[in-house]
A and B are shown apart, each in its own frame.
Chain A
């Protein structure tokens, strides 16, 4: 089975802090994705990566950056956290058109 893990299930940070969300997949997938999920808005893509050191902006990249130094790991960085970044963050990897999701990180920015 594909396994996608995220470093934290719950996270509380203060406004202005730099926040790192880590995602690791164990299936050697080339594509990885970061989404945020908000009620009534569904999933919105922040960034995705199709190979090591390669990244593409998604629909809502503002205020975020990403890093993919190794194939199995895709990190989401909030450079200076703001309260409007309070959300559920979901990571996924994909193979053969199918995306496989991690359990999510619920981030609260105070």
Chain B
């Protein structure tokens, strides 16, 4: 079955420290992977995507993600967290069964950055 897992419901980190939000996936074929962020009472905003090429993908607001094929992971990272990074983060993978941009989303990880 095609799926995305975000094993942590919440991640807490102090401002200035590095942060990691974990994501693993299970799809057939080559995965198209995405990270989105949701601020309170807002829709989702696109952060970054991996389609092919360099395993380290850089995105908006200083975030990056590393694609690891052997571990089927796509963890989101940032070297130095800001309080304003506090939000809900979703990992997603393109559903390979459809010839369209249909995505399968994880359940989300709430990131809390403390001053």
Contact = CB atoms under 8 A, between A and B. Distances in A.
Interface stretch (A12-20, A72-80, A93-101): A93-101
What bracket does the count of chain A residues touching chain B fall in?
20 to 34
B107 A99 contact: no
Interface in B13-54: 32, 34, 36, 41-46, 49, 51
Q: State the 9 A-B residue pairs at the shortest beta-carbon distance, nearest first.
A: A101-B43, A94-B101, A42-B107, A43-B105, A101-B44, A103-B43, A42-B105, A50-B100, A104-B43
Contacts of A99: 34, 36, 44, 46, 101, 103
Contacts of B100: 31, 48, 50, 94
Interface in A36-60: 40-45, 48, 50, 56, 58
Given A35-B105, A48-B102, 17 more contacts: A31-B100, A31-B101, A41-B107, A42-B106, A44-B105, A58-B102, A92-B44, A97-B34, A98-B34, A98-B49, A99-B36, A99-B46, A99-B101, A100-B46, A103-B42, A104-B41, A104-B43
B90 to A, nearest CB: 7
A66 interface: no
B101 A97 contact: yes
Given A31-B100, A48-B100, A90-B43, A97 B94 contact: yes
Contact of B45 (A40, A44, A58, A101): A101
Contacts of B9: 40
A9 to B, nearest CB: 8
Contacts of B94: 97
A90 B107 contact: no
Nearest to A103: B43
